[in-house]
């Protein structure tokens, strides 16, 4: 799997600007947010003007380094980035955030990690906002583009995407792990699903 913050920051993040705006719309003005598996921090930066405090966490040091380099070039004081394992967010107390967000990340994890990741998100926040691939993907250019992107990611990433898809996506995974879906919508020509849950 490609882990370079430079690659994602240059080629992937610009394609997802509208998606990140849609996630931002789910956050109320002044809320506190933890972005789990934040990657380059693109969603964290998108939330900067809406949330009072945003914390991005990712296991990849190169992604966190990329996000921190970008942060140093700004005057933003309400953003922080930390290297952390999404299955063990022990540095954060229970319900210490209004929202735990995850944007296009759950599909990249081994299904055996869904339970600890989702449990930690539920523990540290009052509600959860997750965006990931729709299952089934639409039979249009957005669905085809999504399949191609995941194929090109290759290796373990693509393998885990196939398992996510086979499992049934968010509508199946979240309830199975004790997460109650409150609101759901399909966006970007049906390629992605955005869910608000508790």
Residue 66's contacts (CB-CB under 8 Å, 6 or more residues apart) are: 5, 6, 8, 9, 40, 41
Domains of the chain: 5-197 (3.40.50.150)
CA-based nearest residue to 143, from 153, 151, 133? 133
pLDDT at 125 (0 to 100): 99
Angle between helices 155-167 and 141-153 (to 10 degrees): 130
* Region for 169 from its dihedrals, namely left if φ exceeds 0, alpha if ψ lies in -120 to 50, beta otherwise: left
pLDDT in tens, the chain (198 residues): 445 555 444 444 445 778 889 999 999 999 999 999 999 999 999 999 999 999 999 999 999 999 999 999 999 999 999 999 999 999 999 999 999 999 999 999 999 999 999 999 999 999 999 999 999 999 998 889 888 888 888 899 999 999 999 999 999 999 999 999 999 999 989 999 999 999
* Region for 116 from its dihedrals, namely left if φ exceeds 0, alpha if ψ lies in -120 to 50, beta otherwise: alpha
């Amino acid at each position: 799997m490609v882990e370079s913050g430079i690659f994602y920051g240059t080629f992937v993040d610009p394609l997802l600007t509208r998606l990140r705006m849609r996630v931002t719309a789910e956050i109320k003005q002044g809320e506190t947010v933890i972005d789990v598996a934040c990657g380059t921090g693109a969603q964290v930066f998108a939330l900067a003007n809406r949330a009072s405090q945003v914390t991005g966490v990712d296991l990849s040091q190169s992604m966190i380094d990329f996000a921190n380099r970008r942060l140093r070039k700004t005057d933003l004081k309400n953003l922080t980035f930390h290297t952390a394992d999404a299955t063990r967010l022990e540095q954060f107390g229970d319900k210490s955030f209004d929202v735990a967000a995850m944007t296009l990340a759950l599909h990249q994890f081994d299904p055996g990690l869904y339970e600890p990741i989702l449990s930690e998100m539920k523990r540290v926040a009052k509600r959860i906002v997750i965006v990931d691939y729709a299952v089934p993907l639409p039979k249009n250019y957005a669905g085809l583009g999504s399949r191609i992107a995941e194929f090109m990611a290759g290796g373990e990433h693509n393998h885990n995407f196939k398992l996510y898809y086979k499992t049934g996506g968010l509508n199946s995974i979240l309830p199975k792990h004790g997460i109650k879906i409150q609101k759901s919508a399909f966006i970007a020509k049906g390629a992605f699903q955005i869910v608000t849950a508790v």
